[in-house]
């Protein structure tokens, strides 16, 4: 599968760290499965992965929390 951004790179499956910012707080999720372009570095996430990152952000970043680091956990 070719990258849609640079149109030359190939997408490699790997795990990445994702930084999510919300209202000044930062959530870092590690070991997130993604496909990464080996040319420009663009990252692609499956819909269910992107949705879970969103859910994790909402559940994790409560008032008073400024930084949290989580491991990605696939929903059963």
Give, as ranges, the residues between 7 and 36 that touch Zn ion (CB under 5 A). 9
Please report how close the Cβ of residue 12 comes to Zn ion at its closest, in angstroms: 11
Q: Is 4 in the site for Zn ion (CB under 5 A)?
A: no
Give how many residues touch Zn ion by CB under 5 A. Answer: 8
- How many angstroms separate the CA atoms of 53 and 28, rounded? 10
Q: DSSP for 31-73?
A: EEEEEEETTT--EE--HHHHHHHHHHHHHH--TT--EEEEE--
40 binds Zn ion (CB under 5 A): yes
Residue 5 makes contact with Zn ion by CB under 5 A: yes
């Amino acid at each position: 599968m070719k990258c849609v951004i640079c149109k030359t790179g190939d997408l490699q499956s790997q795990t990445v760290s994702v930084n999510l910012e919300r209202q000044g707080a930062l959530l870092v999720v590690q070991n997130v499965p993604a496909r990464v372009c080996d040319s420009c570095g663009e990252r692609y996430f499956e819909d269910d992965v992107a949705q879970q990152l969103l859910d994790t952000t909402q559940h994790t970043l409560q008032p008073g929390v400024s930084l949290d680091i989580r491991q990605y956990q696939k929903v059963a």
